[in-house]
Amino acid sequence: MLVIGGTGYLGQALVQSLVASGHQVSVVARSKASISGARLFSGDATRMDWSEPLDDVQAVVNVLGIIRQTPSATFDAVHVEVVARLVAAMQLKGVSRLIHISALGTRADARAQYHQSKWRGEQRIADTEGLSYTILRPSLVFGGGSPFFRTLGQIASTPLGAMIPGNGQGLFEPVYRGDVVAMVSAALADEARTRGETFELGGPERLSLNDLVQHVVEVRQLGPVAFHHLPLPWLSRVARWAQGFSAFPVTPDQLLMLTEDNVTEDTRWHEWVKPTHLAKDL
């Protein structure tokens, strides 16, 4: 089993689960940190020679993704070009099984560059002959220190109160990290019924951005917090100016995603995994 992006927020949990289940796991990641029970191929996936990592591999799980672009790591480079090179190498090596982690909201007419690039990556996979793929599109993921909920913590705890983009009415269905990991394992175990399928993974609660910020306030016991809804045109201008500074909590692209609904009616995956309710473990 080869996991790409196995040292990230979702990837770490996945690798731990696969190792605990008895799989022989190799990991491709930038980090040089040791991973208990797994073999590490350390390097930049955008320039990786896939020949050695794909040796003696029966299946690949691609968890690689970025939410902010940098000059050295763009959405196209990570979400499209890596995927294109990976599936071409899989063809050469005769490795057909791929589980690909995409994102809810991915579609051909997406507004956000993030979702546009995820869509192009998915299309590379779907267009690859002989590939037995399953695509998973999670909504916002929580549990075990979610980067998204850390961002909400920043939004909720400014000296003036919670600074919320727009009216905060965009809807989301947070999905538990362990449930995404469990669905990866289910897809690996049930290739016959999951090959060629795209599953959208949303949790059992449909909550607004205002609701999610309030949940963070309560979990972190921040006390009474005033909610301030920032006008989007003004905030977008500030975000464009500040997007080169990682300390600023949102980019213009993230603002687009925070102000549109991110929900699904897809419950097919419940046959394998019962979704977990939003909890205090963020």
- DSSP string computed for 120-181: HHHHHHHTSTT-EEEEEEE-SEESSS-HHHHHHHHHHTBTTBEEEETTS--EE--EEHHHHH
> What's the mean pLDDT in 120-136?
97
Q: Is the dihedral of CA 167, 170, 171, 173 positive or negative?
A: negative
- Beta strand spans in the chain (E): 2-4, 25-29, 38-42, 59-62, 97-101, 132-138, 141-142, 162-165, 171-172, 175-176, 197-201, 207-208, 227-230
- Which pLDDT tens digit goes with each residue over 229-265? 999 888 888 888 877 677 677 888 988 898 899 999 9
For 238, what's the count of Cα atoms within 13 Å in the CB-facing half-sphere?
Answer: 11
CATH class of 2-140+174-201+263-271: alpha beta
- Pick the closest to residue 102 from 88, 123, 87 (CA basis): 123
- Pick the closest to residue 140 from 61, 70, 201 (CA basis): 201
- Which pLDDT tens digit goes with each residue over 207-229? 999 999 999 999 999 989 999 99
- Which pLDDT tens digit goes with each residue over 135-180? 999 999 999 999 999 999 998 999 999 999 999 999 999 999 999 9
pLDDT of residue 77 exceeding 80, the answer is yes
Longest dimension (CA), the chain: 59
> What's the mean pLDDT in 80-101?
97
Are the C-beta atoms of residues 79 and 117 closer than 8 Å to each other? yes
- Pick the closest to residue 187 from 129, 265, 101 (CA basis): 101
- Which pLDDT tens digit goes with each residue over 8-27? 999 999 999 999 999 999 99
Write down the pLDDT at residue 88.
Answer: 97
pLDDT band at 36 (very low <50, low <70, confident <90, very high): confident
Q: Is the model more confident about 181 or about 259?
A: 181
Q: Is the model more confident about 196 or about 154?
A: 196
The CA R_g of the chain, rounded to the nearest whole Å, is 19
The CA distance from 109 to 112, in Å, is 9
